[in-house]
Amino acid sequence: MISQRIGTEVGLLKNRVKHRVRNGASAISTMQSSVSNKTRRALSRTDYVVHENAWKLLGTTAAVAVIGGFFLARRYGSEIMGEVTRSVTDEEGKPQEVKLKTYTGFEVLQSLLPFALFLVKARQANKCAQNAEIEISKE
């Protein structure tokens, strides 16, 4: 009698656990498909915005980079730039030494080269996109 009751309770408990596992698996599957759909929609919208407003995005990125570089140069300028001492005469004819901060040619090249490469790559991407639109419109 007691063993039958324990067997029945174990069977009921087993069925409850199976039911909850199935419900949990279906909930996880539903959540996974929902997240996947939302991610696809977000990527699609981002792709559309980037392709439709490529030059605006490029200009904004360049402006942010220039502004960020300006503030970084103001903060760390003395560490980045070299100093040159020049002799200058004042109004009274007395010589004075003035420290000037200068960039070397290599530093200028190192700063401008990534920006130039970025602009070239953006122009190439724009040409490819225009060619693809022309081919699609011909078909």
In a domain, 122, yes or no: yes
In a domain, 115, yes or no: yes
In a domain, 136, yes or no: yes
Residue 32 has pLDDT above 80, yes or no: yes
In a domain, 121, yes or no: yes
Residues 6+ apart with CB under 8 A from 96: 87, 88, 89, 90
120 vs 28: CA distance, rounded Å = 46
In a domain, 17, yes or no: no
For position 80, what pLDDT does the model report? 53
Residue 91 has pLDDT above 60, yes or no: yes
Per-residue pLDDT band for 89 (boundaries 50, 70, 90) equals confident
- How many domains does one find in the chain? 1
In a domain, 132, yes or no: yes
Q: Which two tokens stand for residue 53?
A: 């407003």
58: exposed, middle or buried (C-beta count within 10 Å: 0-12, 13-18, 19+)? Answer: middle
For position 139, what pLDDT does the model report? 59
Mean per-residue pLDDT of the chain = 77
In a domain, 137, yes or no: yes
For position 106, what pLDDT does the model report? 67
In a domain, 3, yes or no: no
For position 79, what pLDDT does the model report? 54
For 115, the domain range is 104-139
